[in-house]
Homo-oligomer: A and B are copies of this chain.
Amino acid sequence: MSSDVDQATPKYYLLKTEVLGLIANLRPGTLIPTERALAEKYATSRTTVRQAISELVAEGKLGRIQGHGTFVAAPKVTHVRQLTSFSDDARSQGLRSDSTVLALDVVGSDAEVSAHLELDQGKPVTRLERIRLIEGEPLAHETAWLPGKLPRFKSKLANSGSLYAVLAADYGIRIADVEDTVETALAGPADVRLLGIEMGAPLLVVHRLARDVGGTPVEWTRSTFRGDRFRFVSRVKSGN
């Protein structure tokens, strides 16, 4: 029967608020006190300090480097998605965008890919796996599957860097319709290795299905974005 909200606020959450106040006016990169120092200052245990710090790291407010310290994080990068690709988006914001190709090959489609591309399982699909960087920092891990084989795809992609531009210019494939799904996930060892984040960090997992004018699927992509450095923006205009 009793109203009972504030009484129950755990100490680690109060500490989290406290640290937020500490860093409010600090520039990105500024080191904050060590975990052991904070534990002593606020008369608590290092475990409790770590729980507070961990959540602030997961939210993108702090960063930490083992052996170095914990520091104020840089503001989030904003990313715009329309019918454009990653590289176009970045360019439109005046940001330097790069990508590292991890794999570019033709493989047999598995159950998931074939279902989305509406192909029979095992049919050849072109797989393009890339790390996407903005301002030199890895922000996303992206794997795209395209139906069939694309002749001289590698060299053409190397020139442009923009998948959608190559598809349109060299293969006559025009994207007419995309559907994105966004959900949260937590970073595992593979994400840690590829994106340079820490275990358990929140991720935005985006699946994109693109179709051409006739409604035929032409691209199925799974992208993993750093949740701490990223905002997903979609603009929709009424067709009426």
Q: Which A residues contact B (CB, under 8 angstroms)?
A: 5-6, 8-10, 13, 55, 58-60, 76, 78, 82-83, 175-186, 188-189, 193, 199-200, 202-204, 227-228, 230-239
Contact = CB atoms under 8 A, between A and B. Distances in A.
Contacts of A82: 236
Contact of A177 (B181, B184, B236): B236
B55 A200 contact: yes
Task: Rank and list the top 5 A-B pairs by shortest CB-CB distance, nearest first.
Answer: A184-B227, A182-B232, A184-B202, A183-B231, A234-B234
A233 to B, nearest CB: 5
Contact of A183 (B5, B185, B189, B227): B227
Contacts of A184: 58-60, 184, 202-204, 227-228
A221 to B, nearest CB: 14
A59 B112 CA distance: 20
B188 A13 contact: yes
A176 B240 CA distance: 8
A185 to B, nearest CB: 6
Contacts of A185: 59
Nearest to A232: B182
A199 B237 contact: no
B181 A232 contact: yes
* Residue of A82, A175, A202 with most partner-chain B CB within 10 A: A202
B182 A83 contact: no
Contact of A175 (B177, B203, B204, B238): B238
